[in-house]
Structure 1
Amino acid sequence: MIEGSRPDQLAQVENSIRDFTDAEVAASESQRRLDLAKQAVLDEVARLRDEAESDRDPSLIAVLRHVYWQQRGISSRALAEAARMHVNEMLVAIGPAPSGIACATCGTGLLRTSRSWKPSRRHAGPPLCPDCEAQKREANSRESAGYWLRVRFINEAAVSAPARDWHAATALVLAYPPLSLRVQPGSAHDLQDGIWLAWENARTIRDRLIAAVAAGDDLFECPAKETQLLVETALRMAGWDTARTRDLLDPITSESAHGLLTRLNICRKTAVEAARQRAAQLFPDASETGADGS
């Protein structure tokens, strides 16, 4: 008897352990039966392949198609090996299956090409068939021939502000490296929130400030896209710990973090608006220029 336990307590423990042991035995027996049944299916596939004149025999392909699409407990690799085929060869031979999803544009039923297939959803849009997807891409390209040129022109617009503001903003971001936020570079969190990207962005700007020996009221320029990421990240960092924020800014400026970041953001918006107007003149839509390009 377990020391300090009552007989009724020990009995309850023994009953629980007995139930657990019985369940383990049942699970093992079920798994053994499952493995045997799975192997029986694979043996039948191998027999059909031996009797078939080629790996495109209709009877063999019909069985492969049924097992692949309807019996997910049998892996595609094991099934292909039983038929003496590569997985890709088998998928080509058995063909796609209906997905139950219709194209949002033409209504054509989409086909699954593999078990892991998912409908194409470019830019989080509705599912489209390959033809409609291609037509959509072509239409978007025609409608906005100069779109990416305008985007690049605006992103590269020079934002000019005192070096003091840039030093303050980068200090706020670099004081909190992403590892302290438990964000790994390249992870889903990193890609969604851009924390690692924002930290690297701030370090790049800081390095350019140092290389230019820019300080105090010296005007320093930075691309609009980099400025936006810097300001957004710095504002978030500044709100975490006001005391820490003040400690970081005191060697640089007596101004509040919110005040200098707001001014930096206004400079960015002014530069972006001017660049947007200029880009519209330099890179108009194809629809705006007319068929003859005039």
Structure 2
Amino acid sequence: MSEDKLPDILDHVLKSVRDFTEAEVALAEAEQRLVLCRQGVMEQVQRLRDGVEASHAPELITVLRHLYWQQPGIHGRALAQAAGLTLNDMLATIGPAPAGILCAECGVELLRTSRSWQPPARPGPPLCPDCVAVDNRTRSRRWHVQTLRSRIIREARVPATVREWRAATELVLAYPPLIQGIRRGSEADLQEGVWRGWENARGIRTRLINAAVVDDDVWGITVEEARLLVSIALKVVDWDTARTRDIVDPTTDEAAVALLSRLQRAVRDEAEAAQQRADAAYPEGYEPSEDEINEIWGGMSL
């Protein structure tokens, strides 16, 4: 940069600093004037409040509504105090204002109940309060219906002989998770349900022992328990063919894969049948009775 241009640049710097300083002064003066004007508005609101008979006088309400909704520089709480009201009382008195957002269901414009109002946080497009209530009732009804259906499916039992259940449980219990090197709560455990499957099999075997049933008796196990038992047994059946034979031989002469495949079909068939019963008992559009709803919540509180 040539030395003859330096003075010209310095002149521009000095001018820019002067402009900035003048702007700072103007801003401070404007802010001071804003404070004084805001104070003047509050004083006039107080005078108006003293001049009317009640806080709900039309003249006062009109002024408050304009200042609150159209003049955001006037603080809401201070405005309410000037009118001799609490903020909540003032908002109830002046009423809401259009939000500029239409209800996605009925098309009515949503209303702002305060300056800080935001559309209700919920999935999907915005809805007006009436449509939100309808949507909530619909969601609640569907949840109750699904819960009633789930109960039928949950209570459904897969019938098979005690011999078949014992063969499946012994096959699963022969491979404890610790022997497999799987820690409870590990990623492998969470993904494959190893500990849950092993404990499920142990619980089934305990119930079979306590029931004092014989191998040819038909015994029912819930769909969820049976599905988990068979899925885990099918995973381990091919790990060691000779050991699998040693495990199931004392219980049955049937090949383990054939036995488990039949149980798997039985689980699938019972699950489908239970789903059909549930759908028939509680079809689409079903309105649960008050007793059914109370029964659902009573069961959840146990």
TM-score (norm 1): 0.51
Q: For 1:45, what is the secondary structure of its paired residue?
A: helix
Matched, 1:14 2:14: yes
Show the counterpart of 1:94: 94
Instruction: Give the distance between the partners of 2:285 and 2:38, measured in 1 at CA.
Output: 65
Q: Residues 61 and 289 (structure 1 numbering): CA distance in 2 closer, same or farther, change over 3 Å? A: closer
Q: For 2:92, what is the secondary structure of its paired residue?
A: helix
Gaps of at least 5 residues in structure 1 are 152-213, 229-265
Matched, 1:79 2:69: no
Amino acid in structure 1 at the alignment position of 2:13: V
Q: For 2:111, what is the secondary structure of its paired residue?
A: strand
Deviation at 1:284, TM superposition (A): 4.7
Amino acid in structure 2 at the alignment position of 1:112: R
**Contact between 2:68 and 2:76, CA under 8 Å: does it hold in 1?**
yes
Instruction: Give the distance between the partners of 1:127 and 1:101, measured in 2 at CA.
Output: 8
Instruction: Give the distance between the partners of 1:93 and 1:223, measured in 2 at CA.
Output: 59
**Contact between 1:150 and 1:279, CA under 8 Å: does it hold in 2?**
no
Matched, 1:133 2:129: no
Q: For 2:50, what is the secondary structure of its paired residue?
A: helix
Q: For 1:74, what is the secondary structure of its paired residue?
A: coil
Count of equivalent residues? 184
Instruction: Give the distance between the partners of 2:89 and 2:288, measured in 1 at CA.
Output: 49
Q: Residues 222 and 92 (structure 1 numbering): CA distance in 2 closer, same or farther, change over 3 Å? A: same
Q: Which of 81-90 and 280-289 deviates more?
A: 280-289
Q: Residues 136 and 68 (structure 1 numbering): CA distance in 2 closer, same or farther, change over 3 Å? A: same
Select the residue among 181, 195, 217 that pairs with 2:180.
217
Show the counterpart of 1:200: none
Alignment RMSD (CA, Å): 4.1
Deviation at 1:139, TM superposition (A): 1.4
Q: For 2:144, what is the secondary structure of its paired residue?
A: coil
Instruction: Give the distance between the partners of 2:18 and 2:105, measured in 1 at CA.
Output: 60
Show the counterpart of 1:186: none
**Contact between 1:55 and 1:83, CA under 8 Å: does it hold in 2?**
yes
Q: Residues 110 and 6 (structure 1 numbering): CA distance in 2 closer, same or farther, change over 3 Å? A: closer
Deviation at 1:150, TM superposition (A): 9.1
Once the two structures are superposed, what CA deviation does each residue of 1:74-123 show, in whole Å capped at 9, x if it has no partner?
11011111112111010011111122222221222221111111222521
Deviation at 1:143, TM superposition (A): 2.4
TM-score (norm 2): 0.50
Amino acid in structure 1 at the alignment position of 2:25: V
Show the counterpart of 2:40: 40
Instruction: Give the distance between the partners of 2:113 and 2:288, measured in 1 at CA.
Output: 43
Amino acid in structure 1 at the alignment position of 2:21: T
Show the counterpart of 1:142: 141
Instruction: Give the distance between the partners of 2:287 and 2:54, measured in 1 at CA.
Output: 56
Instruction: Give the distance between the partners of 1:19 and 1:29, measured in 2 at CA.
Output: 15
Deviation at 1:278, TM superposition (A): 5.9
**Percent pairwise identity:** 47
Gaps of at least 5 residues in structure 2 are 151-176, 192-230, 236-266, 290-302
Show the counterpart of 1:287: 283
Deviation at 1:128, TM superposition (A): 1.2
Amino acid in structure 1 at the alignment position of 2:133: A
Q: Residues 221 and 148 (structure 1 numbering): CA distance in 2 closer, same or farther, change over 3 Å? A: farther
How do 1:66-215 and structure 2 match up within 5 A? 66-123=66-123, 125-145=124-144, 147=146, 215=178
Q: Residues 289 and 131 (structure 1 numbering): CA distance in 2 closer, same or farther, change over 3 Å? A: closer
Matched, 1:26 2:26: yes
Once the two structures are superposed, what CA deviation does each residue of 1:5-37 show, in whole Å capped at 9, x if it has no partner?
954444333222211111111111221222222
Instruction: Give the distance between the partners of 2:116 and 2:148, measured in 1 at CA.
Output: 37
Instruction: Give the distance between the partners of 1:145 and 1:280, measured in 2 at CA.
Output: 21
Deviation at 1:227, TM superposition (A): 3.4
Q: For 1:24, what is the secondary structure of its paired residue?
A: helix
Once the two structures are superposed, what CA deviation does each residue of 1:182-210 show, in whole Å capped at 9, x if it has no partner?
xxxxxxxxxxxxxxxxxxxxxxxxxxxxx
